[in-house]
Every structure is written in structure tokens, then in C-alpha cells.
């Protein structure tokens, strides 16, 4: 519990209008990234002014307030979280909640470009596993998807994470006509190294200088194709996120599917998302949001912040309404994924 929150007495756990306990907070620490992935953002992005971002101390304070209210898992995201200056300070600060066992897990999602620098320090700060985005194993294709990325840097980052003792899970966005011929190779690569792999449908968020109707590949189709070559067994494995997992008999590895388009996975949603500006989104696929920056900066006491959090959770919707609009070709949600947090 934070020193601010401890003055308020025992805190109630966060329960939304549908009886779901909110125990998982995803926190974007920056909207900036060293890649420009074609499904995530345009190549010529205008990023937020630095003055609009929460300071690292403010991020620590608001995360600690959520931990005091029963959040057991924190995931640090971006943009690319490891490009935020002095980001290790935040991981080290938040690790105190692991020491007190108020928090079960502190983790991050990354493109791995910076992991050769940070993997060992992240492990020392209490991080035990990382999610790494890897959409292709072909260098030229990797450059085409990320625009600015170098596959060799990512593979070196994966090696560094493994050497540091971090568990690795790989995420791949399924892109029609781009990487749909690589899923077998990604499975072999991931499972050959003992990593889980999760496939993700592209989500209609933000203007990307392109057409998502050209990118969208339903994972129901992907799964049907995989079943022609692999033996898939549904298993009751969960990591706290939205993925539904199968075990592949031939590799003994796990494969996850995240399907915001073809299957609404909201009935068990225990997550909310905080942006780097202090805006709390109760649902990734809805525009309703709450401003936590104002109460953070209005008072050094957490009473206003706690009331704002309560009011926000009381508005958490039952589910999202993602759809790829083939008529207007506009994204379902105007903000970019990098703003909300990957």
C-alpha cells in the first residue's frame, strides 16, 4: 500500500457493475516507440508533449493506489516502455509491492530492441517474465512490418532475456498477406526454445496510413489451417490476459489466440488501462475514460484519486464493440494502440 493510500484506512477491492474484480492494470509509460509497425501507427507520428506525461513518481503513485485496491498484476507497456528515460527507476520503485506480496507480478510488453541493455536489471527489479512482439522471422519482412526495426536486435534481445533468466512469451499479430505463411515457423521457433506463442488479431485502433481491411486475418481461419498440420488440444491455461490456449501435441508447447474481432472475450475481463497522461480506459475498445491526472496533481492525499478510481470502475462496460468498418474504412477507436498501451 502506498504511503498516501495507507492514511485512508482499509481500502475496498475494485469490483465493476458486472461483479468482475479488477485485479490487472496495464500501464503505458510512453506513447513513443523506436519502431513504426504498420498495424499500430503511421510512419510520421506526432507524439504527445512531454509535459503532458505523468512523471515516473506520479506513475508510481497511481500504480500503488491500484495495488492498495486489490490489483495483483501490473504490466508496463508503451509505445515501447524501455525507451522512456530512467524507466528502471519505476520498476525498482514498484518492486516494493512484490517484496510485501501485495503484488503478484510486475511484467512488461516490449519489442525487445532494448533488452540487451535492460534484461538483467529488469530481472533484478523483480520482473520474472516478458511478452515480446515478434511478427516474422524474415529480416526483410520484419523491416517492412516495423519500418524502422532490425530483426537482429530483437533476436539479440530475446537471447538477453533468456540469459537473464526471464521467461519469454512471444506475441505475433496475424496479418493477411504478410505473415500468414509463417505461423508454422513461429511455432517451431517459439516451442523449440520453450516459449509460449500467442497469435493476435489486428485491432481497428488509430489511423495507420493504410487500410485494415487489407490486414485483417480472422484467427478462426488461422486455427483451421493449423489443424491440418498440428494436433491442437484446448487447455484451461490462463495468464490473466484474454488469450485462450491450446497445447500442440507435436511440440508440447502452448499456443494462445487473442480474438477481439471474432470472439468477444469480455465476460471475464479483469483489466483496466492507464495511459502515460493519466487517462484510465475501462475498456480497450470503448472511448469512455476517466482523468486520474487531475486528482493526482490536485492533492498529495490519495482521497480524490481513490474517488476518481471508484467512479471510473463503476462505469466499466460489459464488453467492447470492435469492428472493422469496411464502408468508411475508419478505425473503430480513433486513438492509437501506442497511446492506450499495447
Q: Is the pLDDT of residue 121 over 80?
A: yes
Nearest to 340 by CA among 304, 269, 289: 289
Mean pLDDT across the stretch 270-277?
Answer: 93
Q: Is the pLDDT of residue 106 over 70?
A: yes
Q: What pLDDT is stored for residue 8 in this prediction?
A: 47
Strand order in the sheet with 105-110: 232-234, 244-248, 253-258, 196-201, 167-174, 129-133, 105-110, 73-77, 24-28, 271-274, 279-281, 289-291
Following DSSP, what letter does each residue of 84-115 receive, concatenated? STTHHHHHHHHHHHHHTTS-SEEEEEE-STTH
58 versus 330: which is more confidently predicted?
58
CA distances from residue 271 to 103, 113, 115, 135, 339 in whole angstroms, order as listed? 15, 27, 26, 25, 16
Q: Is 100 left (phi over 0), alpha (psi -120 to 50) or beta?
A: alpha
pLDDT tens track for 54-96 = 999 999 999 999 999 999 999 999 999 999 999 999 999 999 9
pLDDT, the chain, mean: 87
Tell me which of 168-177, 236-245, 294-303, 333-342 is least confident: 333-342
Mean pLDDT across the stretch 97-106?
Answer: 98
Q: Is 160 left (phi over 0), alpha (psi -120 to 50) or beta?
A: alpha
Mean pLDDT across the stretch 129-133?
Answer: 97
Q: What pLDDT is stored for residue 331 in this prediction?
A: 45
Q: Is the pLDDT of residue 190 over 60?
A: yes
CATH superfamily of 20-340: Aldolase class I (3.20.20.70)
Q: Is the pLDDT of residue 214 over 90?
A: no
Q: Across-strand partners of 253?
A: 248
Residues 6 or more apart whose CB falls under 8 angstroms from that of 296 comprise 54, 58, 61, 62, 278, 305
Q: How many CB atoms lie within 10 A of CB 210?
A: 13
pTM metric for this prediction: 0.86
Half-sphere exposure of 294 (CA within 13 A, CB side): 7
Q: Is the pLDDT of residue 313 over 90?
A: yes
pLDDT tens track for 237-260 = 887 678 899 999 999 999 999 987
Give SS3 for 126: coil
CB distance 218 to 262 below 8 Å:
yes
Domain boundaries, the chain: 20-340
Residues 6 or more apart whose CB falls under 8 angstroms from that of 57 comprise none
Read off the pLDDT band of 228 (50, 70, 90).
Answer: very high
Alpha helix positions (H), the chain: 3-6, 56-68, 87-99, 115-124, 139-146, 151-163, 183-192, 212-215, 219-226, 293-298, 303-313, 337-340
pLDDT tens track for 5-49 = 545 445 789 999 989 999 999 999 999 898 887 887 777 777 788
Amino acid at each position: 500500500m502506498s504511503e498516501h493510500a495507507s492514511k485512508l484506512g482499509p481500502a475496498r477491492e475494485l469490483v465493476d457493475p458486472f461483479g468482475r474484480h479488477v485485479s490487472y492494470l496495464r500501464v503505458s509509460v510512453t506513447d513513443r516507440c523506436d519502431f513504426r509497425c504498420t498495424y499500430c501507427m503511421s510512419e510520421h507520428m506526432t507524439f504527445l508533449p512531454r509535459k503532458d506525461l505523468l512523471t515516473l513518481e506520479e506513475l508510481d503513485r497511481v500504480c500503488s493506489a491500484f495495488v492498495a485496491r486489490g490489483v495483483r498484476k501490473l504490466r508496463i507497456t508503451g509505445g515501447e516502455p524501455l525507451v522512456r528515460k530512467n524507466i528502471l527507476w519505476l520498476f525498482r520503485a514498484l518492486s516494493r509491492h512484490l517484496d510485501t506480496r501485495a503484488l503478484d507480478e510486475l511484467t512488461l510488453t516490449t519489442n525487445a530492441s532494448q533488452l540487451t541493455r535492460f534484461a538483467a536489471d529488469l530481472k533484478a527489479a523483480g520482473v520474472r517474465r516478458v511478452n515480446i512482439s515478434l511478427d516474422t522471422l524474415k529480416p526483410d519482412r520484419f523491416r517492412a512490418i516495423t519500418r524502422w526495426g532490425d530483426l537482429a536486435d530483437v533476436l539479440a534481445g530475446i537471447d538477453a532475456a533468456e540469459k537473464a533468466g526471464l521467461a519469454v512469451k512471444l506475441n505475433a499479430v496475424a496479418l493477411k498477406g504478410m505473415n500468414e505463411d509463417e505461423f508454422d515457423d513461429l511455432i517451431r521457433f517459439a516451442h523449440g526454445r520453450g516459449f509460449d506463442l500467442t497469435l493476435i488479431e489486428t485491432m481497428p485502433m488509430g489511423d495507420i496510413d493504410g487500410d485494415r481491411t487489407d490486414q485483417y486475418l480472422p484467427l478462426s481461419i488461422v486455427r483451421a489451417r493449423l489443424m491440418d498440420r498440428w494436433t491442437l488440444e484446448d487447455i484451461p491455461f490462463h495468464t490473466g490476459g484474454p488469450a485462450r490456449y491450446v497445447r500442440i501435441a507435436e511440440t508440447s508447447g502452448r499456443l494462445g489466440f487473442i480474438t477481439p474481432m471474432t470472439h468477444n472475450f469480455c465476460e471475464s475481463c479483469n483489466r483496466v488501462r492507464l495511459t502515460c497522461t493519466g487517462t484510465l480506459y475501462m475498456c480497450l475498445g470503448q472511448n469512455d475514460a476517466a482523468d486520474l491526472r487531475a486528482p493526482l496533481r490536485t492533492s498529495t492525499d490519495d482521497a480524490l484519486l481513490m474517488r476518481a478510481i471508484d467512479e471510473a470502475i463503476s462505469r466499466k462496460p460489459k464488453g467492447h464493440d470492435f469492428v472493422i468498418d469496411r464502408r468508411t474504412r475508419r478505425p473503430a477507436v480513433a486513438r492509437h494502440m501506442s497511446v492506450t498501451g499495447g
